[in-house]
Structures are given as C-alpha cells and as structure tokens.
Structure 1
Amino acid sequence: MSLKVKFDELKTLAGTELGTSDWIAVDQDRINTFADATDDHQWIHVDVEKAKTGPFGGTIAHGYLTLALLIPLWTELLDVEGVTTKVNYGLNKVRFPAPVPAGSRIRVTGKLGDVEEVPGNGLQLTADLVIEIENGTKPACIAQPVFRFYA
C-alpha cells in the first residue's frame, strides 16, 4: 500500500519510512525477455541446463533487471499527487549483495531521504531502498535513487 502525498507536503516527509511493496515474481521468462532487450545472453542468466552446474546452482536475474524492477516496486511505496512530471534523475549508489535466482520473488522496503527544491517548480528527493529476496539471507539490491517531481 503506497503512501499518498500531495506535492506540497513532500518536503515535510524527509526521513519517513515508506514501508514495503508487494512481492513480484522474477521468472525465467522475465529474465529471457530482459536478456533479449539488452542483448546480454550470458549463460548464467539464460542457459538453464548449464547454469545448474554453475556457481549459483541455476539461472539468476541480471543485476540490472533487478534494478529496473525497482521502479514498479517503488511506485507501490509512494504516490505523489498534484504533479505533472515524474523523472528518474539517477542513482547515488547501487550494490547487488546477492543474486536473484530465477523463480524467486522480490520486494522493496524504503525510506525517504532528502527532499530539496529544484528549478522549474520541482522537488528532488532521494530514497534509501532495499530489494529483498523472499526467504533470502541478504538483499538483492541496495540503491539510493534520485527522483524529481514537477508540479
């Protein structure tokens, strides 16, 4: 369930815990589609038989697929109302502590960081986000994305 907030209220929410998203499946079809889209067909991602004898015991999601799924997961945490444009401005930090095995599910937890004004009637915010793997012992991804919202 997302936190619904008006654009004008964003600055007051710096440091707020945003909760947890729903789980999302990372199946082999999703991994293969990402491999096709990025032309990254490394065997640890797409060769199910060979990957069984590899370092992870099966295929794993691309790190950048995990990162790309941050956006649909993020939108479950925060819904900013009264904006005309939302922009992914970049990332301050990204790490992939654990691989995401094909067939697993991930979700994100997060906290809102700094919120500051930017030209053009905008607000820039950072978020501290952790993508968890269901039944995993380490996070799949730790990221600090930067977003801009314009009213």
Structure 2
Amino acid sequence: MPVPWGINATFLDIDGNEFHLIQGPWLIDLLNAQRRAVEERKETERRAAYEMEIAKQVQARLFPRRSPPLETLEYAGACVPARQVGGDYYDFLNLGPGNLAFVIADIAGKGIGGALLMANLQANLRSQHALALEDLPRFLKSVNS
C-alpha cells in the first residue's frame, strides 16, 4: 500500500537491514540538487587548482635566475616548496662591487594572494635596495611597512 511520500516497496537484505524503494517528483528534484552540488564542488576544485597553477608559475618567475658574481664566495639558491605553492621567498640584491644582500622571507598566504604579496615584496626590495647601503634600518622599516 503506497504512502503519501512515495514508499512503494520494502526489502530486507540477508542481514535484516531494511531498504525502501521510493519514487515521486520530489526525488527527481533531490537527485538534481545533489548533481548540481557535485558539479559546483568540482568547479570550485577546478578553479582552485587553476589558481594554484597560476600562483606556481608567478612564484617560479620571481626567484632569481642568476646569482650576482662575488670574488670571495660561490653560492646558489633554490626553493623546493613542501606543497604545490609555498610562501618561501629568497632573492639576491646586488649592492655594488663586492657587496650583496641575501633576502629570505616567509610570505603569509597561499595561492594567487601569496604570489601577489611575494611580487610586491620583490618590487619593494629591488626598487629600494640602494637605500640599504646608506641606511639599513630605514630600508628595512620601509620594506616592512
């Protein structure tokens, strides 16, 4: 005997668990809503993966390609993030013959936001690094603000 909300048959499995066969127009709406939720989640995950890939590319371009030469020291730098995109940053700032600044930073934030913060830090450091020779405390205060 059908009930108003659409249970038409009941089944028992070998363990005695009860299952109901249901039908009704509301079931189609429910299934469609579930499908939409799954599609939206997949789209959100796809966008997040795309954003992370962009951030990874931006970050890779921000690291120095060459090390300024020093007669007294051989050195190199590399960054290997634990995740796809990390918040670690390093740079070499050429301060003239025989002078070099080595920058190490941990950027707050991941994804595009973190990559943009890193780009902003790099622009600040590279545009103001000449100030470091004249007044290091003022330079650091300027970059940190």
Do the structures match in fold with TM over 0.5?
no
- TM bin, normalised by shorter chain, reads under 0.3
Per the normalisation by structure 2, the TM-score is: 0.24
Larger Rg: 2
- The structure with the largest helix share of the pair is 2
